[in-house]
Chains A and B, each alone.
Chain A
Amino acid sequence: AIQLTQSPSSLSASLGDRVTITCRASQGVSSSLAWYQQKPGKPPKLLIYHASSLISGVPSRFSGSGSGTDFTLTISSLQPEDFATYYCQQFNTYLPITFGQGTRLEIK
């Protein structure tokens, strides 16, 4: 299975900060990568798919980039509702879908 390693595992930031979370795949996944946001007691919410395509209704302060093995999720200006845990997820035709271990974003 393809392993996804997110960094950092946790992050403290302030309102208005620009934040970047990295996801590294153990082998290339082309652009088949998504990002999810999860708040306590809730299911994950799809933010970005195909590495950089923003889901309709997701604020434009969220953006994704990368291809192959290295990907990033950037939040340009943190808002109170952005404090959550973020997961990346990959898809490869011949291997199981896997998720990163998560990045917990906390208020500084």
Chain B
Amino acid sequence: QVQLQESGPGLVKPSETLSLTCSVSGDSISTYYWNWIRQPPGKGLEWIGSIYYSGSTNSNPSLKSRVTLSVDTSKNHFSLKLTSVTAADTAFYYCARGSPYFDYWGQGTLVTVSS
């Protein structure tokens, strides 16, 4: 059974960097694409970006200048860094498997941007 689990700080100060990791179990990260998707509380879904095990990435142009995606095949996990955060970046952050459709998702982690 494929499982994804997000981890990272739940509170980040404005202008700082949001860092999250998604640990994958039940599947090798050296297959498929792996994604980050976010959802502000009570609102809709926004795709942040995807990464392949080779390190090839694709990001949403609306966030691209602030997003860094990385993958660690030895740990079977992948990570997101989002720089210069503001209150608008407060959201549930999900990691998900697949491209172009997302068939397995983590439970999500709420990241609040506040001083």
Contacts and interface: CB of A to CB of B under 8 A. Distances in A.
Interface of A: 1, 32, 34, 36, 42-46, 49-50, 55, 87, 89, 91, 96-102
Contact of B105 (A44, A99, A100): A44
Interface on chain A toward B: helix, strand, loop, or mixed SS? strand
Interface stretch (B14-22, B44-52, B76-84): B44-52
Nearest to A90: B100
A91 B61 CA distance: 14
Contacts of B102: 34, 36, 44, 46, 89
A42 B44 CA distance: 13
Contact of B45 (A1, A44, A49, A91): A44
B81 to A, nearest CB: 19
